[in-house]
Structure 1
């Protein structure tokens, strides 16, 4: 994930990842690290907050479907994280979501 931008009106950070190539779990770690100004390896392992295999499977392309729809939200490192099937990760400080 190269770019995470702040939506000031919603106090939410948004980042895009290539859902046909990148795993959502890695995108979440990269986004949270960027927002919190922390190295990814210094974060709590993501699997302590969510089953990373299930997260990746939920949004992985299958058969003729190149992109899955839907979203999933969970708490991680003091943030409310929402992953969208089209390749977006939204991050809000907990309590602001």
Structure 2
């Protein structure tokens, strides 16, 4: 794992200021998709993961984890998109999460040098 978001190891995290999108790549063998989603969302929102609404209020975390495990390595991409905590979240079967706020991105998030 190259980096951590909210204490969870992920391969990469990219911030795209223009679109307000965050892209995280994770290794499904080391980090469940549900955990990577919550950690990335907490990082985006600048909060502790335990302060977020439980993911199960929006999507079944076990089904999300199984979706990535089953589809990983197959030809083509499958993905699931849902909204949680005011953010559109897409989880791709090849271990990539994209999160976009339904609001304008805030400048202070990108001022810490993470913006691309």
Q: CA deviation at 1:95?
A: 6.0
Pairing 1:90–2:95 present: no
Q: Normalising to structure 2: TM-score of the pair?
A: 0.71
Pairing 1:32–2:38 present: no
Match of 1:80 in 2: 88
Which structure 1 residue ranges, 4+ long, deviate > 4 Å from structure 2? none
Q: CA deviation at 1:66?
A: 5.2
Q: Normalising to structure 1: TM-score of the pair?
A: 0.83
Secondary structure of the 1:60 match is helix
Q: CA deviation at 1:60?
A: 0.8
What is the RMSD of the two structures over their aligned residues, measured on CA atoms? Answer: 2.0
How many residue pairs end up in the alignment? 93
Q: Within 2, Cα distance between the matches of 1:74 and 1:66? A: 19
> CA offsets per residue over residues 7-36 of structure 1, 9 Å max, x none?
123321111111222110000000000000
Pairing 1:67–2:76 present: no
Larger radius of gyration: 2
In structure 1, the gaps of 5 or more residues are none
